[in-house]
A and B are shown apart, each in its own frame.
Chain A
Amino acid sequence: MTAAALALTASGLSLVFGVMRVVNVAHGEFYMLGAVIAWFVTTLVPGPAWAAFLVALVVAPVAVAALAALADRLVLQRLNYDPEATIVATIGLLYMIQQAALTFYGPDARPVAAPFEWRLQLPWFGYSGYKLFVVAAAALVLLALWLFMTRTKVGLVMRATQVDREVAQAFGIDVDLVYMAVFGIGAALAAVAAVLIVPIQQAHYLMGHDPLLLSFIVVIIGGLGSLRGTVVAALVIGLSDGVISMFFSPTLAKILATLLVALVLVFRPQGLFGGREK
């Protein structure tokens, strides 16, 4: 369940880094925004919980994608995607979004009602049907993303831009537009993950930190910019997270994970799942 949401968030980060070579430090805040918007939408939309949830599932990613595309157009594009300047700029975005959420949403964690209540009753224990739905939905979105990238013209254009920006431009591809779309889609993936997860965890203005850290870990372990590696790594880490925290305290688990990732970056920058050398 955690693994599924993590895979979604991390693939957004991975997509952005893969195509644009931009490390988006504000990615966790897009995730948080998704959850916060979901809360606003579900409180404002009348009717049954499932209807409001569906509206949120559409509105939140679209709104977040629009904001991300705007940020790309106004800020990142003007920096010519200089890697170090964009990191500084996305740190600035992180603070601005976080503070805006605190001002308009407040410091409280607030729950969102699950769209349906249904438990899978197995003989030995019950399992929340909603969690299974999250896994299925995340898998569906990832499959759609994969099909989109490999089977459609737009996906082809994006991959072409990833391989060689100048040549793509020479072939008449509007690289700026592609980048805007990629940044928007990457942010939308984080928002979808957040909307799916928010009935289980509550929406809070600081909730972007952990997914950001975990996404970094996943993307780095899986090999920077490799979408398949990212998903595999998300599954491994998301599943092992539960196992590890049985033996260690969560803080210790985080310390070990953080150091491990730093060391992977130092000694195996291509990732553990052997991406190709740059």
Chain B
Amino acid sequence: MSGRKIWAAHLALLAVLFALQYILPPYHATNLARVMVLALFATGYNLAFGYTGLLSLGHALFFAAGMFAAALPAWHYGLGAGPALLLAVLGGAGMALVTGLLALRTAGVSFMIVTLMFAKAFHLILIYFNQWTGGDQGFALPAASRELAGQALSQDGPRFLVAWTLFSVGLLVCLALVRSRFGRVMVAMRENEDRSRLLGYNPYRVKLLVLVISGAYAGLAGGAWAILFGYAGAGFAEIQYSILPMLYVLLGGAGVVAGPILGAAAMFWLVELAAELTSAWLFLVGAALVVLVLFAPKGVLGWVRARFWRDLP
């Protein structure tokens, strides 16, 4: 399949997402904005896990780092939304750089535990300095910091637009990245690290770069969450927020560009649906993880790729 068709398919997906804000009732349109921010987060996770094979259990660290990099200056110094989002990207990427420098010395199970531990430590730090960070209760962002180009982001229209724009940029950058030469090197790291080292690539540097990019995605998503929905709290650094992007990626299809948005949307509305029947939504998350790992490790789009569309990126 030609490159043009692949780009057309992804642009069509973005167009459909954009159109949905006029079709869906307002309540669900806001939910879609949430889903797109979560999918942005999961797209970053997909770059690390799906393409490069870095199974991290600490992405909440980058999400929360971005969130607080944006929200703390906004709260304490009244920083505007634009610079705050920029800080969020830097916060997530910087945190990923520091984490990666240390954690990438390990691999496999050790890498998972080390990233888990770092995320846990950051969560505890946020709670420890609670007079600065709001701790477990968190804080609401001032309205002045939730304005972009004169538009209040607490309103449905602008909020949806910002979420959609950020997600679109994230998706297209991801698509361009995985179709580039560097994208092939990433997959080579996942498939056979020894062989790619033999071919002259430095696995440590490739993985570090991917982790930093992934952290930048996560940080941007965290900052966007705080600014769009007006709340930041230490709870976002909890293990759950490392597990969720993994779940979205696994469900939608690891190593597929459009996997995270599909997984995020499916899981979000599944939980929403279940919430009407029972409060036990964590049970659903747990069961989904087990079932996916057992019966469908490739996810929905992974299956589509295997059966119908061989070169879906």
- Residues on A lying within 8 angstroms of B by beta carbon are 23, 75, 78-79, 83-85, 87-89, 91-100, 102-103, 213, 216, 220, 249, 251-252, 254-255, 258-259, 261-263, 265-267, 269
Contact = CB atoms under 8 A, between A and B. Distances in A.
Interface of B: 55, 57, 102-103, 105-106, 108-110, 112-114, 117-118, 120-121, 124-125, 127-128, 243, 246, 250, 278, 280, 282-283, 285-290, 293-294, 297
Contacts of A95: 282-283, 285-286, 289
Given A91-B289, A262-B114, A96 B283 contact: yes
Given A23-B113, A259-B117, A84 B285 contact: no
A263 B102 CA distance: 8
Contacts of B102: 262-263, 266
A213 B106 contact: no
A251 B114 contact: no
- A interface, over-half SS: helix
Contacts, number: 107
Contact of B250 (A75, A79, A88, A255): A88
Contacts of A262: 102-103, 113-114, 117-118, 121
A261 B117 contact: yes
A47 to B, nearest CB: 34
A103 B280 contact: yes
Q: Which of B125, B283, B293 has the most CB of A within 10 A?
A: B293
A85 B250 CA distance: 11
B187 to A, nearest CB: 17
A88 B117 contact: no
Contact of A99 (B120, B243, B283, B297): B283
A75 B290 contact: yes
A96 B291 CA distance: 12
A79 B121 contact: no
A109 B282 CA distance: 20
A75 to B, nearest CB: 6
A264 to B, nearest CB: 10
A88 B293 contact: yes
Contact of B121 (A84, A220, A258, A269): A258
9 contacts: A84-B108, A91-B243, A92-B288, A95-B286, A103-B283, A262-B103, A262-B121, A265-B114, A266-B105
Nearest to B103: A266
A98 B297 CA distance: 24
A84 B103 contact: no
A88 B121 contact: no
B297 A265 contact: no
B229 to A, nearest CB: 24
A75 B297 CA distance: 13
B178 to A, nearest CB: 21
A216 B115 CA distance: 13
Contacts of A252: 128
A102 B243 CA distance: 20
A230 B82 CA distance: 50
A263 to B, nearest CB: 7
B286 A96 contact: yes
B250 A265 contact: no
B125 to A, nearest CB: 6
A267 B105 CA distance: 8
Contacts of A213: 120
A251 B108 contact: no
Given A100-B283, A258-B117, A265-B113, 19 more contacts: A23-B109, A23-B113, A75-B293, A84-B108, A85-B293, A87-B112, A89-B289, A93-B286, A95-B289, A99-B280, A99-B282, A102-B280, A213-B120, A220-B113, A263-B102, A265-B106, A265-B110, A266-B105, A267-B105
Report which residue of A93, A259, A267 has the largest number of chain B beta carbons within 10 angstroms of its beta carbon. Answer: A259
Contacts of A254: 124
Contacts of A265: 106, 110, 113-114, 117
Contacts of B297: 85
A23 B114 CA distance: 13
